[in-house]
Structure 1
């Protein structure tokens, strides 16, 4: 193949088309007209000898050849950008969307503070908080370039391809209404188990690892309600005898004044919260700036968000 005959701009358009699987959305992302984007797709099909995008049920879908091209194409474009090494753009002038995949728990913590931090330091960076479909799917999304950053718990990763660091070590607390009978009578494991619990599960599970801990002690609990989001927990606690064990950072900022909050009466292991991105984003200023703001969000009370 004669490399001089290849228009590198065509590869940029192809990258957007493979991400969006939609000509109009790719055109809007690149600020191109739809006819120009369609023409670029036709040229890409000729270049690779493959349809790349085909009509399927519910819209366009990538061919196997297109799926195989996604990661090498992204790596190639990042490599070209590194070779060209354009002058560093001031943060205030960057216009870019950064996509973050995260579960409910970190999402509650980061959305507001991160938006306010970026409004001051890099107002042209827009955020997309993507839905959570599990850790393997999040890491695959980073590899495919469908996400830029992931925040959650990642027990194992491919360190050659992905950067992963610990943002914080999360701990569990027990929360109930201020005048809850279990709080007034002296909180203990048995008093805790006398009342129905709230369990947060995105999959609708009625058990968690904590139930296995209780079973080892010859005890069990009643799960009175299962909800899919930590945002649903505070209203349920305020006017009921329900009790919730939840990660400390999922409590609302005014929780200390609204609820009785205590450590679990038996040791309950916490967990690390990780920040990850694909190494092709190591030199992406927008992604790295968002990562720095995320570190500040989790640095503790009074952290400098800007």
Structure 2
């Protein structure tokens, strides 16, 4: 059969005829006149080389071929209709897995309340946080498998839409009882004290050192770590200090025994952004996840 010549309306008529076993009732169901429905039945009989409906007494009955067609035809039409209807997303019953990517300091802020919110609304949903990659390492294959990115990025992720989530700033973390604690707010002491620099995947230097270079000063780096969380743990166990996002230190200061101090040079502030694939702009599941993340970000306490 030449599918290009197939009129899909004939399949709709066939479905009605098989379910109603009556030309008049089938016509009423699909909104056609009785003569038009009779014409459709004649065409279908010719195409399938089968009478489909035969008169028995006062009514009509389906042929064996027609009986065999009922279930697969109904299933086929349901699939065709689904092509033109946006897929609904029901959080309470969904088993969806979302793939996210974010640096560790954002993980600490966003994930605890996000996981709690997801558990309450969508207990079957799973969140997979992928290893962090910046815009320069976002390959097309990786982008196709990421539902959401949170990042402080100067460059956009190709093929993603950007939305501002929250503002933060950098500040000094030092352990309680650090011998230089009273003087770490002074530029000379700050620069001379050993620092833990944070150099993440794909980076060559800690962004803090680029910022200090703009002020024509340099700090003494004793150790580099791949994440802010590792840097903070090292600070809590030594006389090293680190400059990290303030919101993360505020969250972990008590547990790690850390003091929070303002740097001697004002670092200003920076913004964290949420990125989602342009292809998911109208996807109900993506919209639900983005709304959840935005609500968590809006609930972060106070200014940075």
SS at match of 1:181: coil
Structure 1 segments unaligned to the other structure (5+ residues): 6-79
State the shift of 1:126 in Å: 0.9
SS at match of 2:282: coil
Structure 1, 101-110 or 265-274: larger mean CA deviation: 101-110
Q: Give the counterpart of 2:176 among 152, 164, 178.
A: 178
Paired with 1:4 and 1:97, the residues of 2 have a C-alpha distance of 41
Question: 1:287/1:181 Cα in 2 relative to 1: closer, same or farther (>3 Å)?
Answer: same
Map of 2:261 onto structure 1:
262
Give the count of matched residue pairs.
Answer: 226
* CA displacement 1:84-135 (0-9 Å, x = unmatched): 235x443211221111122333223223222111000111211111112221
Structure 1, 289-298 or 148-157: larger mean CA deviation: 148-157
State the shift of 1:153 in Å: 2.8
SS at match of 2:126: strand
* CA displacement 1:249-304 (0-9 Å, x = unmatched): 3326241572220221102243221111123212323222221121122224469x
TM-score, length-scaled by structure 2: 0.64
Paired with 1:170 and 1:131, the residues of 2 have a C-alpha distance of 22
Question: 1:196/1:4 Cα in 2 relative to 1: closer, same or farther (>3 Å)?
Answer: farther
Paired with 2:232 and 2:211, the residues of 1 have a C-alpha distance of 25
State the shift of 1:137 in Å: 3.4
Map of 1:195 onto structure 2:
193
SS at match of 1:210: helix
SS at match of 1:91: coil
Question: 1:197/1:268 Cα in 2 relative to 1: closer, same or farther (>3 Å)?
Answer: same
Map of 1:155 onto structure 2:
154
State the shift of 1:213 in Å: 4.2
Map of 1:90 onto structure 2:
90
SS at match of 1:179: coil
Map of 1:284 onto structure 2:
283
Paired with 1:247 and 1:289, the residues of 2 have a C-alpha distance of 28
Question: 1:82/1:154 Cα in 2 relative to 1: closer, same or farther (>3 Å)?
Answer: farther
State the shift of 1:204 in Å: 8.6
Q: Does 1:122 align with 2:136?
A: no
* CA displacement 1:124-179 (0-9 Å, x = unmatched): 2111111122213347457x5211111113434489x5321010122111110122
TM-score, length-scaled by structure 1: 0.64
Map of 2:238 onto structure 1:
240
Map of 1:271 onto structure 2:
270
RMSD value over aligned CA atoms? 3.1
Paired with 2:214 and 2:177, the residues of 1 have a C-alpha distance of 31
Structure 2 segments unaligned to the other structure (5+ residues): 7-80
**Structure number with larger C-alpha Rg:** 2
Aligned pairs for 1:66-85 (under 5 A) are 83-85=84-86
